[in-house]
Amino acid sequence: MQEVLKKPIMQDVLNKLGLEKVNFGTSTGVEFFGDTSQNLIDSFSPVDGQLIGRVSTTTKTEYEKVMTSAEAAFKTWRTMPAPQRGEIVRQYGDALRKYKDELGRLVSYEMGKSLQEGFGEVQEMIDICDFAVGLSRQLYGLSMHSERPSHRMYEQWHPMGIVGIISAFNFPVAVWAWNSMIAMVCGNVSVWKGSEKTPLCGLACQNILSDVLKANNLPEGISSVVTGNYEVGEWMSTDKRIPLLSATGSTRMGKIVAQKVAARLGRYLLELGGNNAIIVTPSADLDVTLIGAVFGAVGTCGQRCTSTRRLIIHESVYDTFAQKLANAYQQLRIGDPLDQNNHVGPLIDKDAVAMYNNSINEAQKSGGKILVEGGVLKGEGYESGCYVKPCVIEVDAQYDIVKHETFAPILYLMKYSTLEEAIHMQNDVPQGLSSAIMTTNLRDSELFLSAQGSDCGIANVNIGTSGAEIGGAFGGEKETGGGRESGSDSWKAYMRRQTNTINYSTEVPLAQGIKFDF
């Protein structure tokens, strides 16, 4: 099942990443299972519509081989001291530094985000490796005083086993690294199903990690890749051998995963949709606001879960800022994302283009006023049919379309009179991922950050909704799923807690003063 990769300009990049030919779909470290499936995933670049390669999907038989390999690898990996596991992650981080250019270019070409964002995504992987290395010496438990004499109590954390990871196309490598690098230092192994829209990115990451594992004589199954559609995700959701399933994607997908994992009393970590807003107050620095709003709305062509979807602007500065925004949009350069002169690349595919068009039409039918016209771009350089113009629409906060997330560069503008009203407008959507306020008023910022303020997992002041750092726990509330990944103490989600009591006396006193003599 071989398909020579196309796009001569990318051939050297693909060769260096071990993707000169794609004839496999399922990998457990250095060994490949594949070529048995007749179902193929075609990876087309949204940049130019070219077929990059074909990847065979994982069969049920291959999936079972992967799980068997992962179970065996866990028995070895969990016994390695955490700092030694951190050393393997450190080596992977160094390997990513070596391949940052090639992997960043592949991310940009297969997914369609700007080259700078592609490089940034790989840097995010490197950063989480550094974070995980330090974490490998900080998996702390607590010690507690016992009410019983000559007793000691403490808690410790143990690895869970196989961590399943389902990731989305918009961050085809970084979100896997958030999960897998933390899981690895915690002593777990991982099985990763990436998006079928970006399969080569996943295989490239696996190839790089496989070399590190092989150089250290470590089991293949510490990290595995499976490929396919929702069916493979269902295998993982219902598999009792996977105690924790981390899933990133749409709210619809997350609800299905949650039900299936909960039915077997497993754990899940969900990072789902966002419908993120920036509140612009009368005291806001409008130049700072403009930068945060424009990048938040058009970065990754509006295909980030943290993309800015709504601008809630005080009536006193509404007209001024709307004009500044319109002027800025006229300066955006849309085109090949590998050309660093361009700001905006394509949407992932034509289905995304259709959703973009439908949302604009729905907003207009509801009464929305177009402030910056959208549309699909055609002609030279836009042959893939996936390039669209970022659009700005003035709306009422109660329009139904405003309550939904459209993964596209559509920005909704609305007015407010009081900050309490603005906070209500921001919170009055099903999603609760990221939020921001632009203000130089201390009272406004503190109200926004208080229990009466933003109900999102991320709340920023004077920066946009997009561009989170790995040091902070990433995730949101409500239909965003409630999960937390990456920094802070999110490592606890990947481990099981155990409370230990040690009696070093010659008696067996019971807690709460209970007597049991015979």
Catalytic residues: 271, 305
Closest-CA residue to 108 (of 185, 64, 172, 63): 172
Q: Which helix (H) or strand (E) holds 32?
A: strand 31-33
CB 254 within 8 A of CB 272: yes
In degrees rounded to 5, what are phi and psi of residue 516?
Answer: -145, 80
The residue length of the chain stands at 518
Q: Which residue intervals of 136-250 are DSSP H helices? A: 174-185, 199-215, 230-237
Beta strand pairing call for 485-486 and 473-474: antiparallel
- The residue assigned the tokens 């959507």 is 429
The sign one gets for the Cα dihedral 483, 195, 292, 479 is negative
Per-position DSSP letters for 325-367, written without gaps between them: HHHHHHT--BS-TTSTT-SB---SSHHHHHHHHHHHHHHHHTT
CB 45 within 8 A of CB 118: no
Which 3 state secondary structure label does DSSP give 200? helix
Which 3 state secondary structure label does DSSP give 268? strand
What is the C-alpha radius of gyration for the chain, rounded to an integer number of angstroms? Answer: 25
- The residue assigned the tokens 């981080």 is 93
CB 6 within 8 A of CB 49: no
Per-position DSSP letters for 42-70, written without gaps between them: EEE-TTT--EEEEEEPPPHHHHHHHHHHH
CB 469 within 8 A of CB 487: yes
